[in-house]
A and B are shown apart, each in its own frame.
Chain A
């Protein structure tokens, strides 16, 4: 009798991470909040602290349609154009 494997392996992809900025001073940050309670509040507080400490300007707060949605390609393009780095956050 054979064993029949019911599982599927995901297609593996190589993801290259963008190198982290070595110096945060004066950079522009984009925020992605997941639409749950206080996600935006938390991220904006983080942005305030970054501004105070590094002079970082918050240039864009993107709100996902729902917590389980992808960030759209359009939103990613906009973030890439306007921000030097992005912080994505959850809330509940």
Chain B
């Protein structure tokens, strides 16, 4: 398409008028920037990267590149963008559910491996917040791609009741250097020197605060309370939950010598509600029986459904959980290798 526009501001307005933005201004692509994005992943424009059968759509490299450039990605971010796209196209991610649901899921992109440092993906202070180009633009590229190629637009196929701000972008790295545990991607079977992107449909971060505790169990109890909130989809869906411990809380676990498995088990043991509570809140049908008062229902099926990740600043007694969208049969967190050519 060759509409000659010489004023870059007017060009940005053209993209707005065509409905191709997320509400924020985009970076108008040029042949040079699109070619650079494609070259960074050694793909031709018509190479198929993934497809979403429910939409009868194939995602070609050129469209991914265009949306990445629109988002503000540098060419070197493309391998991570590509891995995230492959993740959402994986059958077990079940794209259709989280993308269209009234549940309003954001797609978190958690990055592991050497590429975190190489690209400057923030994994430390303000890990979920603004200020870092790769974090802001990789997540944004994914959302723009979803909107522009998969019609995942508000009022069309994105029927979110409320949505959440993380839908603009939620991309962060794991702080593997400072973490007391093995990183997420190694748990998932990748080598430490490999880089990965994990995509996960989430309500968004729920921050927890505990400044007093220097005991691992009480920290887990605090976190578990947030994980088991009665309004969470996890209560009935038993979906993956991501738990992010920041620096001060990591140190509590490090000093105590708790392994990741111990943390997961403790979270699992405490992130439970009685059937009675769940029924009284109208989250499960039926009358409350005597048995319901003592029968506990965990918010995940197994401790391994809890993905524990280290990120955030060294200072500040804050951590967060990211509850999942939907149910465990509908979508899963998917970890995909980043192809660093």
Contacts and interface: CB of A to CB of B under 8 A. Distances in A.
A69 B330 contact: yes
Q: Which residue of A3, A4, A13 has the most chain B CB atoms within 10 A of its CB atom?
A: A4
A6 B144 contact: yes
B192 interface: no
A6 B16 CA distance: 12
Contacts, number: 81
B168 to A, nearest CB: 17
Nearest to B64: A6
A4 B66 contact: yes
B285 A8 contact: no
Contact of A69 (B55, B58, B101, B329): B329
B63 A2 contact: no
A8 B1 contact: no
Interface stretch (B24-32, B170-178, B227-235, B288-296): B24-32
Interface string A1-27: 111111110111100000000000000
B214 interface: no
A10 B141 CA distance: 20
Given A69-B329, A69-B330, A4 B96 contact: no
Q: Which of A1, A10, A67 has the most CB of B within 10 A?
A: A1
A24 to B, nearest CB: 31
B30 A7 contact: no
Nearest to A12: B56
Contacts of A78: none
Contacts of B31: 2
A47 B1 CA distance: 54
A80 interface: no
A54 B59 CA distance: 48
A59 to B, nearest CB: 26
B94 A69 contact: yes
A52 to B, nearest CB: 26
Given A67-B330, A68-B326, A69-B329, A3 B56 contact: no
A4 B37 CA distance: 14
A6 B60 CA distance: 11
Nearest to A1: B5
A37 interface: yes
- Which of B8, B54, B330 has the largest number of chain A CB atoms within 10 A? B330
Nearest to B67: A6
B163 interface: no
Contacts of B100: 68
Given A4-B1, A10-B57, A12-B56, 12 more contacts: A1-B4, A1-B11, A2-B31, A3-B2, A6-B70, A7-B149, A8-B60, A8-B150, A10-B55, A11-B56, A69-B329, A70-B54
26 contacts: A1-B28, A2-B1, A2-B3, A3-B2, A3-B14, A4-B28, A6-B20, A6-B67, A6-B144, A6-B149, A7-B149, A8-B148, A8-B149, A8-B150, A13-B56, A66-B97, A66-B326, A66-B327, A67-B330, A68-B94, A68-B96, A68-B330, A68-B331, A69-B94, A69-B329, A70-B54
